[in-house]
Amino acid sequence: MLMALTCAAATAHAAQVAQTSVKTAVDAAIEPLQAKYGIPGVAVGISVDGKHAFYHYGVASKATHTRVDDNTLFEIGSVTKTVTATLACYAQTQGKLSFSASASDYVSALRGSVFDHVSVLNLGTHTSGLPLFVPDAVTNDAQMNAWLRAWQPDSPAGTQRVYSNIGIGLLGRAAAHSLGVTQREAVEQQLLPAFGMTHTWLRVPPASEAHYAQGYDKTDTPKRMNPGVFDDEAYGVRTTAPDLVRYLDVNMGLVPLAPAWRRAIDCTHMGYYTAGPFTQDFVWEQYPWPVSLDTLQRGNSPDAILKPMPAHALTPPLAPQADALINKTGSTNGFSTYVAYVPARHIGVVILANKAYPNEARVSAAYAILKALDQSK
């Protein structure tokens, strides 16, 4: 009995030491970051073997001085694209959407255009050639369809990786059409309940408005996202750190799911192209683990987002890799997000902030935290 108590005490002590070490690493990563970029508020969530911890820094609003907590809602920008990818994979594994079919097969307004030769897979892997941003003059679906019908690519689909809000917007429209619902209905009525994400929204309801952080741009001007064409599909999700950590657990296979949704998650982790330093999955980007900080920063650099990169198809596609770091950045004018996880190690981190600041800094902070999580196991 004494031996058992001694072992239990030693185990508890080791766990406490590990927790203290992780908190020290999180503080060391976030506090200088917050000071350097003048970030009002940051929420960090970590997952280790499905166990979670959350760390909060600063305020959700400089006007009200409300402290960041587990209920604070952040805009997560392009991390939204991974949600759209999951819906598309769900439709594909249900036999309702074909990745090899033309985009115009599902978006009828584009039939007879160049999109007869752009596949659904091209949309989900940023290899359609479409540019990043919706043109400023385009404010509704009719104008978007007219612009798309007139658009001509600089190179054939599948040859260049060009990061694109428009491409993912079309992917979402194709997936929703195949499922017979709108994007918002598919997300809020199907995906989020299936994943147990109860504080995640495409439109924040009045009852949750008080938890919605105020964002700030690089000049400290208050900013929140305005509705726009393809916002639901490409950058419109608002969520909390606990919900986003649960999303990482879903992706790491640590949350029980219906078989159809598990197949959809696996589908998003397939590698379809290599581009620059990473493998392009279905929206997600992956690197062999372990990976150097320099490689990870190059893959999340402005050049990787704003400039075309040669894309090389993987034939056959790469099966989901457990020994990989899978990541995604997300930005709006007033918010910055980074998520990264390593399925084989069952470790993941999310960093949510209510100010725009560089990807390089986010990646560096998350990398330090992931290293600490890996060492704590």
Cβ–Cβ < 8 Å for 239, 197 = yes
Catalytic residue among 55, 106, 163, 247: 163
* Spatial distance between the Cα atoms of 76 and 72, rounded to a whole number of angstroms: 12
Check if 78 is active-site.
Answer: yes
What is the identity of the amino acid at 142?
Answer: A
* Spatial distance between the Cα atoms of 326 and 357, rounded to a whole number of angstroms: 21
Q: How many residues does the chain have?
A: 377
What is the identity of the amino acid at 226?
Answer: N
Helix (H, G, I), strand (E, B) or coil at 315: strand
Alpha helices in 119-203 (DSSP H): 120-124, 141-150, 165-179, 183-186, 192-195
Instruction: Extract the tokens encoding 250.
Output: 């879903």
* Spatial distance between the Cα atoms of 254 and 170, rounded to a whole number of angstroms: 30
Instruction: Extract the tokens encoding 100.
Output: 């090899």
Cβ–Cβ < 8 Å for 355, 336 = yes
* Spatial distance between the Cα atoms of 178 and 262, rounded to a whole number of angstroms: 19
Cβ–Cβ < 8 Å for 79, 237 = yes
Catalytic residue among 47, 61, 78, 178: 78
* Spatial distance between the Cα atoms of 141 and 60, rounded to a whole number of angstroms: 33
**How far is the first Cα of the chain from the last one, in angstroms, to the nearest whole number?**
27
Active site residues: 78, 163
